[in-house]
Amino acid sequence: MIKFWRCYVCNDIHYGVKPPEICPTCAVKNAYVLISAREAKTICGAPAEADFSKDDFLTAIQKFTEDNEFMVNPDRAKVDLLFDGIFNNERNHGLKYCPCRLMCKELEEDLKIVCPCNFQIHETYKGLDKGECWCGLFIKRPKTSEVNP
């Protein structure tokens, strides 16, 4: 079962079945202790109050794609429209929900549509040369030969 864990040295929070052996923030070994969801919420709530703009989100997802086989769609108008939806959904519904799907009001299910979602399993992505996430925010990186013919 997925639980919350806290690094006793730097308060890094981990959400998962088991904690990392080495804390990725402070590098201390065997540093995690199981905590309650309430504690995790309080600790995570503090930095969350800081502003996280659309530019911050773009930087975050660009960084996320760097070493992956996919990239952020270069179609800026599409990205802007999706960002409007993602940020409106966070403001109105609490999380960065996918603008091209709908929450079903069951948290476990709804966590599957928080952006970026696990889109590599989508039929619009998996096994396709020009695959993209359901919304088209992420696309498979074109092969180098396609970029420079």
Partner 1 sequence: MKKHVMFHGRECPHCKAMMPLVDRLEKETGLSIERLEVWHDEKNADLMRSYRPIFTPKCGGQLRVPTFFNTETNDTICGEVEYEKLKEWATK
- Distance CA(21)–CA(31), nearest Å, equals 8
- Does residue number 23 form part of the binding site for ligand SF4 (CB under 6 A)? no
Reduced to 3 states, what is the DSSP secondary structure of residue 124?
A: coil
- Does residue number 138 form part of the binding site for ligand SF4 (CB under 6 A)? yes
Beta bridge partners of 35: 4
Q: How far is the CB of 41 from ligand SF4 (least distance, A)?
A: 23
Among the listed residues 88, 133, 145, 149, the single contact to ligand SF4 using CB under 6 A: 133
Residues in the chain: 149
- Does residue number 116 form part of the binding site for partner 1 (CB under 8 A)? no
- Does residue number 131 form part of the binding site for ligand SF4 (CB under 6 A)? no
Q: What is each CA distance from 23 to 11, 28, 46, in whole angstroms?
A: 10, 5, 20
Residues 74-103 that bind ligand SF4 (CB under 6 A): 82, 98, 100
